[in-house]
Amino acid sequence: MEFPFEQVEIDNKKIRTFSPDVDDYELKWHQDLNDRKVIILEGGGWQFQMENELPIKLDDTKQIFIPKLAWHRVLKGGSNLVVEIEEFD
C-alpha cells in the first residue's frame, strides 16, 4: 500500500513527513488500530480533524491524542507537515 507520507522510525517512534504536494484525495478519513500520541514538529498551515468536530490548525497545536478506531484525517497546508507518532497497545 502506498502512503501519502515519508516515514522513518527512531526509538520506537515514527517520524512522518507530509509534503504540500500530496494530492488531497490521498488524505483520507481513516482509523488506526492503536491509541496514538502525535507531536507536531512542523505544521505549515495543515489541519487535523476528528469525526464530528471542526478542523484544528496543527501549527497552533503541540500534541494530539488519537484514540484507537477514531475516524480522523489531516487537511493539506502550504509547507511540510512533520509529526512524531508514538503508539500504545
The answer to whether the CB of 8 falls within 8 A of the CB of 15 is yes
Number of folded domains that form the chain: 1
Cα–Cα dist 16/44, whole Å? 14
Structural domain boundaries, residue 17: 6-88
Check which CATH number belongs to the domain holding 78 and give it: 2.60.120.10
Full pLDDT tens readout for the chain, 89 residues: 689 999 999 999 999 999 999 999 999 999 999 999 999 999 889 999 999 999 999 977 789 999 999 999 999 999 999 999 999 98
* Residue at 1 is within a domain: no
Q: Which three cell numbers stand for residue 61?
A: 497545536
Closest CA to 55 of 82, 35, 27, 33: 27
The whole-model pTM stands at 0.91
Closest CA to 65 of 87, 42, 80: 87
